[in-house]
Structure 1
């Protein structure tokens, strides 16, 4: 396995893992834009990830040849055995296990260790080299239970019934997870959606993830129409609260669901009234727990706070290596261009005229 300007390249297999630009042969860990790119000639991924890529890029841009591989199934390419394991990040997300000449490398992609009702949970596989993300690799990041944060949201809705609650959440994975967690907490009323997140919610349901009563935020209101959706919960891209779209809502409480909400200054700078610490990545303790469980003598760190994690590994007698891959972003960052934030952009993304 070598690091190239395009990303991780498996030399004997002749394929890349999550390449940053179109290549002949790609193994894609999950559907987020910093891992799944359009225009590859051949793509191997889980069936759900391929469905997400088709929905986002179009049938003709998700790979000229699309090879689905289910969790726990294996295929051999030029003598390299490829197995996909659940990563627990979003629907369809996978770790990529590579076996060649008696050694095993596991590339985690992005992952979390918390239970998520919308996707399969992370599975541990022991290996010789573990390639891990490090998005929240600082001791300050210790995420509270999801149920605690959802209860804070519901308590706020009860406290301010005259206001709409607008939760900024990433379009793929985070939005659907928040909805599912709300359902588990007993919220059986409609959840209202910004146009930019509707398509992927519909896709999740078509792939067997029930989300309950979902409704679009009403459009076409006449000038002077009273504010709407008081006492309701609205899901939208993180940047939508700052657009004219939000003005139709009843005195909206601005919320944001992200691991970054641990950093209160970050929430304050964004004008977030109710920060919700709900992350789709492993926190500091979970990163170290995972590294201990895979029992790999060598750990490669792909992005995030690699310096802190590599140092922590050295104190444990584990070899750490920062890979500094190009093109890896953070989909929990409010600046990530993952979903359109205006209804006009959302309509264009859906192909509306």
Structure 2
């Protein structure tokens, strides 16, 4: 067995590596710092020999409160190969959040790769693998969003330009996505003062180095500083109590399919910005990758069985959905 996806979301690669959840294996890889990919990390820390991630992901994990002993925390740069018990392990670039990585394992029985979460363009496909485990957050065409991420970004900037002079803005999203948006807005000339809670601000400083973009004036969030001309960036979990504040509230979500931006009421918008590949982008990745077999990760995505059936019947690729 070169690869498998277990019921708890653990992705097994080769004989020694497990990614993004717990399994009794000596090497645990964390592809990125989102909660659904750090499951049971404390148990892996206790039982595995090494916790492997990119340097940025390790920094994110520390900021988010994960305790990994220095003796077990193995920071691996993109494209740098490590060897363990006859298998070679490599982390490859992935466009998702700062520090995200794909995982490639090469051993005597063949090659296995795992995309982790990714989006296109910007994620180089791993080619000619024996087995590819692929993320399919959007596993069928009906889950596709209207417009591209650039349409969503343009819609967000339009909201900022129209509403910022009259009202403070609050943008809600997940860790990683918030920092990416902060960077993208600065690149495009948005000059408003940024406010962020302590965790979001610490992650933003790390992401700023990763993207090599100066995010400029960013202050620790304080309710009194939430005035016109300022934009607060807060984790989506804080949106419900915050929606009562007099401000324009913008929720970043990959599940909004009615358009790039939808106005819910006078002061609430949903912007369709996602860090996951669409169904057709996943298909294009697989076409370029040319794997002998595909395992569609069913533990985190939607309609993974449809994706596997499409690959089998339309592209004539050996594909299954697991677990």
Q: How high is the TM-score relative to the length of structure 1? A: 0.77
Structure 1 residue 198 and structure 2 residue 201: aligned?
Answer: yes
Q: Aligned to 2:84, which of 59, 74, 77?
A: 77
For residues 57 and 45 of structure 1, do their structure 2 counterparts lie closer, same or farther at Cα, with a shift above 3 Å needed?
Answer: same
Aligned to 1:259: 254
For residues 297 and 30 of structure 1, do their structure 2 counterparts lie closer, same or farther at Cα, with a shift above 3 Å needed?
Answer: same
- Return the offset for 1:142: 4.1
Structure 1 residue 99 and structure 2 residue 106: aligned?
Answer: yes
* Residues 279-309 of structure 1: per-residue CA shift (max 9 Å, x gap): 1111111111101110013110113120221
- Return the offset for 1:205: 3.6
Question: Bigger shift: 77-86 or 31-40?
Answer: 31-40
Aligned to 2:133: 131
Distance 1:270 1:79 in 2: 59
Aligned to 2:280: 285
Structure 1 residue 215 and structure 2 residue 210: aligned?
Answer: no
For residues 316 and 16 of structure 1, do their structure 2 counterparts lie closer, same or farther at Cα, with a shift above 3 Å needed?
Answer: same
8 Å contact from structure 2 (residues 171, 249) kept in 1? yes
Aligned to 2:291: 296
- Return the offset for 1:63: 6.8
8 Å contact from structure 1 (residues 143, 283) kept in 2? no
Question: Bigger shift: 122-131 or 227-236?
Answer: 227-236
Structure 1 residue 167 and structure 2 residue 171: aligned?
Answer: yes
Q: Aligned to 1:46, which of 33, 40, 54?
A: 54
Aligned to 1:65: 72
Q: Aligned to 2:188, which of 185, 189, 208?
A: 185
Distance 1:46 1:257 in 2: 26
- Return the offset for 1:97: 0.7
8 Å contact from structure 1 (residues 130, 298) kept in 2? yes
Q: How high is the TM-score relative to the length of structure 2? A: 0.83
8 Å contact from structure 2 (residues 171, 233) kept in 1? yes
- Gap runs ≥5 in structure 2: none
For residues 290 and 47 of structure 1, do their structure 2 counterparts lie closer, same or farther at Cα, with a shift above 3 Å needed?
Answer: same
8 Å contact from structure 1 (residues 103, 128) kept in 2? yes
For residues 55 and 214 of structure 1, do their structure 2 counterparts lie closer, same or farther at Cα, with a shift above 3 Å needed?
Answer: same
Q: Aligned to 2:235, which of 225, 234, 237?
A: 237
- Return the offset for 1:11: 5.7
8 Å contact from structure 1 (residues 192, 215) kept in 2? yes
Distance 2:304 2:14 in 1: 24
Aligned to 2:115: 108
Secondary structure at the aligned position of 1:259 is classed as coil
- Return the offset for 1:246: 4.9
- Return the offset for 1:2: 4.1
Secondary structure at the aligned position of 1:317 is classed as coil
8 Å contact from structure 1 (residues 258, 277) kept in 2? yes
For residues 132 and 252 of structure 1, do their structure 2 counterparts lie closer, same or farther at Cα, with a shift above 3 Å needed?
Answer: same
For residues 318 and 84 of structure 1, do their structure 2 counterparts lie closer, same or farther at Cα, with a shift above 3 Å needed?
Answer: same
Distance 1:279 1:103 in 2: 33
Distance 2:248 2:98 in 1: 29
8 Å contact from structure 1 (residues 142, 284) kept in 2? no
Distance 1:46 1:271 in 2: 42
Distance 2:25 2:35 in 1: 16
8 Å contact from structure 1 (residues 147, 181) kept in 2? no
- Return the offset for 1:109: 1.0
For residues 138 and 164 of structure 1, do their structure 2 counterparts lie closer, same or farther at Cα, with a shift above 3 Å needed?
Answer: farther
Distance 1:299 1:240 in 2: 38
For residues 212 and 156 of structure 1, do their structure 2 counterparts lie closer, same or farther at Cα, with a shift above 3 Å needed?
Answer: same
* Residues 89-148 of structure 1: per-residue CA shift (max 9 Å, x gap): 11111111111226211111111114xxxxxx4222211211001111221314633332
8 Å contact from structure 1 (residues 193, 235) kept in 2? yes
